[in-house]
């Protein structure tokens, strides 16, 4: 029988026997071996993929049942070589030993986070019931999912675990909300300076005008990612990808703090 389906955004076609399972089709015909086969009887969860937006055990779905479907496998989770927050969580929280169960776990948790962006530990553990792990255990896997939940729900797409990161997240929140006066009063010293290549602004009144114009014309809408965050006791630096009125762009910012507030702030665009 002829089957045709979109897998990870790409169309695949094959001639299959009616008894062939989706797991075998993905691995043997399409070469997508990230999907693992552990038990082949629907018990271990290592073969989980997303089928039309819902997680399924692909060893329990006939290839012909997936005809015309939209499928996502573990190979389609990272975008442009960048791990998503769940994958990053598994890496950060050492949630992988042999890794055999990991693709299925990530696909099951992808389904969970698609339904509930802030699941508690109990819900995460309930959703892990269908995924067996023989070597790492579940504690670190729960930690990985909690890592992703924290990161996904952060305004700056980063784990907020230091005072500088908290200040950064709060700045972004206030900028998105247009709360310019609070931004300046809560985070900048009275004679603080904000500098770029084409302007220099000093003092609370001038900073309020500057950020009012920023909110009006540039309009930060969302931070998609934050990278290279470096901090010392009285300074921090990062690069970020942000959505503004001008589209998606890369920026960098460096801050020097005095008595817990920003004293000097250099900001620039990465071309």
Name the site residues for ligand FES (rule: CB under 6 A).
37-40, 42-47, 57, 59, 96-101, 133-136
- Read out DSSP for 71-131? EE-GGGTSBTTB--HHHHHHHHTT--SS-SSHHHHHHHHHHHHHH-SS--HHHHHHHGGG-
Q: How do the residues of the chain divide into helix, strand and coil, expressed in percent and rounded to 5?
A: 40, 30, 30
Q: Which is nearer to ligand FES, 61 or 180 (CB)?
A: 61
Distance of CA 72 to the CA centre of its chain: 17
Distance, CA of 48 to CA of 51 (rounded, Å): 9
Q: Which is nearer to ligand FES, 100 or 252 (CB)?
A: 100
Look up tokens 């691995």; give the residue: 27
| Least Cβ distance, residue 100 to ligand FES (angstroms) | 5
| Least Cβ distance, residue 136 to ligand FES (angstroms) | 4
Q: Which is nearer to ligand FES, 58 or 154 (CB)?
A: 58
Q: Which is nearer to ligand FES, 136 or 226 (CB)?
A: 136
| Least Cβ distance, residue 25 to ligand FES (angstroms) | 13
| Least Cβ distance, residue 79 to ligand FES (angstroms) | 24
Q: Which is nearer to ligand FES, 87 or 136 (CB)?
A: 136
| Least Cβ distance, residue 38 to ligand FES (angstroms) | 4
Contact between 101 and 123 under an 8 Å Cβ cutoff? The reply is no
Give burial (CB, 10 Å; 0-12/13-18/19+) of 151: buried
């Amino acid at each position: 029988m002829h089957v045709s389906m979109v897998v990870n955004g790409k169309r695949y076609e094959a001639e299959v026997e009616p008894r062939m399972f989706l797991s075998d089709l993905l691995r043997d015909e399409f070469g997508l071996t990230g999907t693992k086969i552990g038990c082949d009887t629907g018990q271990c969860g290592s073969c989980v993929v997303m089928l039309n937006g819902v997680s399924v055990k692909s060893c329990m779905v006939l290839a012909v049942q997936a005809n015309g479907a939209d499928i996502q496998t573990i190979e389609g989770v990272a975008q442009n070589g960048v791990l998503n927050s769940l994958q990053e969580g598994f890496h950060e929280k050492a949630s992988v030993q042999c890794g055999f169960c990991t693709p299925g776990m990530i696909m099951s948790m992808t389904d969970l986070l698609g339904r509930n962006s802030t699941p508690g530990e109990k819900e995460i553990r309930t959703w892990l019931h269908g995924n067996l792990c023989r070597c790492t255990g579940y504690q670190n896997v729960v930690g990985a999912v909690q890592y992703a939940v924290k990161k996904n729900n952060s305004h700056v797409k980063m784990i907020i675990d230091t005072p500088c990161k908290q200040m950064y997240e709060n700045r972004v929140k206030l900028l998105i909300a247009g709360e310019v006066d609070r931004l300046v009063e809560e985070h900048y010293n009275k004679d603080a300076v904000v500098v770029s290549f084409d302007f220099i602004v000093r003092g609370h009144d001038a900073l309020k005008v500057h950020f009012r114009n920023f909110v009006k014309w540039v309009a930060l809408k969302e931070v998609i990612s934050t990278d290279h965050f470096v901090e010392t006791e009285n300074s921090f630096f990062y690069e970020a990808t942000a959505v503004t009125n001008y589209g998606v762009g890369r920026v960098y910012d460096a801050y020097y703090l005095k008595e817990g507030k920003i004293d000097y702030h250099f900001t620039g665009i990465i071309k």
